[in-house]
Amino acid sequence: MSRRFPLPDRPRLWGVALSHYQVEGGDHCDWTDWEAGRRTRGAPCGDAVSSWEQYETDALLAKAAGANAFRFSVSWSRVEPRQGEWSDDVLGRYRRLVDHLAAIGLEPVVTLFHYTHPSWFHRSTPWTSSASIDRFARFTRRVVEALGGSVRVYVPLNEPLVFLLAGYLDGQIPPGVSDPASFRLAFGNMLSAHAASSAVIRELNPAAAVGVAHNMMAFAPDRWWNPFDRLIAAAAHRCYNQSIVEAYAEGRWNFVLPPLLRMKGRNDDLPASIDFFGVNYYSRLHFRSPGKERVVGDFHYRDRSGRGLTDNGWEVVPEKLGAMLMEASQSGFPLVVTENGIADATDTMRVAFLEAHAREIAVVEARGVPIHGYFHWSLLDNYEWLDGYGPRFGLYEVDRTTMQRTARPSVETFRELGRKFLSVP
Ligand code: BGC
């Protein structure tokens, strides 16, 4: 089964990806509460990189870098600061951004959930409660009504599994829950919320394309000859990468995370709820079992590919982008790389990183799997969740005292690769 990418006049997207909390600044939400409890390693988000004021100039920087698309997210906590109270000013602000993007020829790609929630959400309608589905659908309705027909691409959820694992099983991010039963409930509700959100988008904007952005990681045994390491790496691949692809492709999941959790579920609305499947790909993890930190196994980044680790210690393995895309292509949905990028403050690795990942996309396409878009993470240096402002992911460097943006040399490479990517019909 192979479906068509639904933007006939723009079959290929070359863009940058950002998320509201990481760039906007001054957004009070569950993550701010979490930071106040000092539960992150890095500096608090604070003013971020003040994109709330500078979105229009940021969009121009993306344009100058050769992008034809701009992926950003809408802050739920700004739009609905108190349950049921909607801010027209905030919706108007996002509308101005969208109009500006259209005016300068950038396709807006709008994410509705990128990790943060209004502070009231976890008290009132957490993901463990089925009421969360309707809350998210109502938020979707307000946003889609406000943004109008110029938004043709929506991503209701960014990395639902990363959020669920870290927020409901590992307790590392808000809401900080560490409980398999809650994870199970939240998992089902969140996928239902995706389907409900997608239905609202299509009702209001039937021409819109809807996709999910799923984080896919490569997993390898730390010692290739060790059967336990191999077993754990294979199990991680199965649950982390494949179960979400299957959930969207077939409306069924069989999620096994030994020894914590085993769950089967179904949602018949999921397969019809997306028009494309987005892959966020960054790196590879190596498993060793039994582990020192966790009995089942520890995971580490290693420089097995010999390209050097990134500033935040991640391995660079471009060929695994190809492997992940081939895996995702099993779903039959048109594919988009919704995120890919590197923390590299000195910009010494980014050019090779960009070139190698673009080559990998070409290899996948030569195998008969078209890739309809590539979004680089990120346009700007930004706030990095648990690590504050340490890792620098930007094509543009940001000086946080002046908020000045300066192009890194790799912007040239991004532009040149984009020109080639977009010249293919
Ligand atoms: C997330 C981004 C994050 C990036 C780098 C992605 O998985 O969607 O929010 O900044 O990883 O860590």
Token pair for 71: 């992926």
Helical pair 51-64 and 88-103, crossing angle rounded to 10 deg: 10
Q: Report the number of secondary-structure helices (H) and strands (E) in the chain.
A: 14, 13
Choose the residue to mutate in 377, 393, 395 for probing ligand 1, maximizing ligand atoms within 8 Å of C-beta.
377
DSSP structure class, residue 406: E
pLDDT digits (tens, 9 = 90+) for 12-22: 999 999 999 99
- Is the Cβ–Cβ distance between 16 and 375 less than 8 Å? yes
- The answer to whether the beta carbons of residues 412 and 374 sit under 8 Å apart is no
State mean pLDDT over 126-154.
Answer: 97
Expressed in angstroms and rounded, the spacing between residue 332 Cα and the centre of ligand 1 is: 25
- Which value, in Å, is the radius of gyration of the alpha carbons in the chain? 20
Taken in order 208, 209, 214, 216, the sign of the CA dihedral is: negative
- Torsion angle, alpha carbons of 11, 14, 19, 25, to 10: -130
How crowded is residue 3: how many other Cβ atoms within 10 Å of its Cβ? Answer: 13
Query: What percent of the chain has a predicted confidence (pLDDT) above 70?
Result: 100
Collect all residues with Cβ–Cβ distance below 8 Å to 233 and sequence separation of at least 6: 219, 220, 221, 286, 287
- H or E segment and range at residue 337: strand 335-339
Res. 2: pLDDT tops 80: no
Closest atom, ligand 1, to C-alpha of 343: 5
How many whole angstroms from 91 Cα to the centroid of ligand 1?
24
In 3D space, the residue among 367, 287, 285 whose CA is nearest the CA of residue 322 turns out to be 367
- pLDDT category of residue 336 using cuts at 50, 70 and 90: very high
334 touches 322 (CB < 8 A): no
At 41 the pLDDT is 87
Q: Report the nearest-CA residue for atom 12 of ligand 1.
A: 384
Residue 258: what pLDDT?
Answer: 82
Protein residue with least CA distance to atom 9, ligand 1: 19
Question: Quick count: other Cβ atoms within 10 Å of Cβ 79?
Answer: 23
The residue to mutate among 31, 339, 350, having the most atoms of ligand 1 within 8 angstroms of its beta carbon, is: 339
Tokens of 95: 């509308």
Distance separating alpha carbons of residues 166 and 182, to the nearest angstrom: 12
Question: Residues enclosing ligand 1, CB less than 6 A?
Answer: 19, 158-159, 215, 280, 339, 377, 384
Helix, strand, coil shares, percent, the chain, to 5: 40, 20, 40
Report CA(284)–ligand 1 centroid distance (Å): 14
Q: What is the mean pLDDT of residues 317-342?
A: 98
pLDDT tens-digit map of 272-304: 999 999 999 999 999 999 888 887 889 999 999
Q: Supply the residue whose CA is at minimum distance from atom 10 of ligand 1.
A: 384
Residue 159 alpha carbon to ligand 1 centre in Å: 9
Q: What is the DSSP letter of 128?
A: T
What's phi and psi for 149, nearest 5 deg?
A: -75, -10
- pTM for the structure as a whole: 0.98
Give the confidence band of 1 by pLDDT, cuts at 50, 70, 90: very low
Q: Which amino acid is at 370?
A: P
Q: Which atom of ligand 1 is nearest to the CA of 341?
A: 5
Average pLDDT of the chain, as a whole number: 96
d(CA 382, CA 387): 11
Helix axes 131-147, 88-103, angle to 10 degrees: 50
From 113, 279, 261, select the one nearest 196 (Cα to Cα): 113
pLDDT in tens, 38-91: 777 889 999 999 999 999 999 999 999 999 999 999 999 999 999 999 999 999
Token pair of 253, please? 């999941």
